[in-house]
Chains A and B, each alone.
Chain A
């Protein structure tokens, strides 16, 4: 079973615009992670936010975490064509395994 739900399921924007994806989860977590997957490939780790953190930045990525609402968001600023991919949130339950959401398919139009 999958832990989280991601919203939207698909997002299409123009190059240069910002993209925001949301993730909700159900149980208490140690951390929440975001991954990117290009078509037919493995997942690439983007960023990890701990349960006691509220916001984290990495380059053009900004992640927020609201543990009271059990939700997180990933913002990609100044999007590029190379950002076209599927993005997954994953929650670390009890430091045992990651449980993934169903993902957001992001398309950046030139």
Chain B
């Protein structure tokens, strides 16, 4: 297993455009998380899935953000009508549902909105 894979690594987009990021988790992991991280800060929770069900969404996740995990495998995070404030690193992580198990993070997608 090659770990958690995120694509693209970098994305530059113009304000108002839509963007979509993809995350491929470790295959045995049934939980998948999305976090957002801005410079000098820790990761902030956005949402998570257990298998294909989206179980929690942060209030940070405005209606311009949508995440899916069809068939409980890979996940996509879409941002519609991007704003400059959306510029950040978007991190995906996966883990097992059992307690006391660490997360495996991908390398992230860095979004720059110009």
Contacts and interface: CB of A to CB of B under 8 A. Distances in A.
Given A48-B100, A97-B48, A88 B42 contact: yes
Contacts of B100: 30-31, 48, 50, 92
A63 to B, nearest CB: 13
Interface stretch (A12-20, A37-45, A66-74): A37-45
Contacts of A95: 99
A25 interface: no
B45 A97 contact: yes
Contacts, number: 62
Contacts of B54: none
Interface in B87-114: 89, 91, 93, 99-108, 110
Interface residues of A, number: 25
Closest 3 CB pairs of A and B: A100-B42, A45-B102, A42-B105
29 contacts: A2-B41, A2-B42, A2-B44, A31-B99, A33-B103, A35-B105, A42-B106, A43-B43, A43-B91, A43-B105, A44-B105, A45-B103, A45-B104, A45-B105, A48-B101, A48-B102, A50-B100, A88-B42, A88-B43, A90-B42, A96-B55, A97-B33, A98-B45, A100-B42, A100-B43, A100-B44, A101-B42, A102-B40, A103-B42
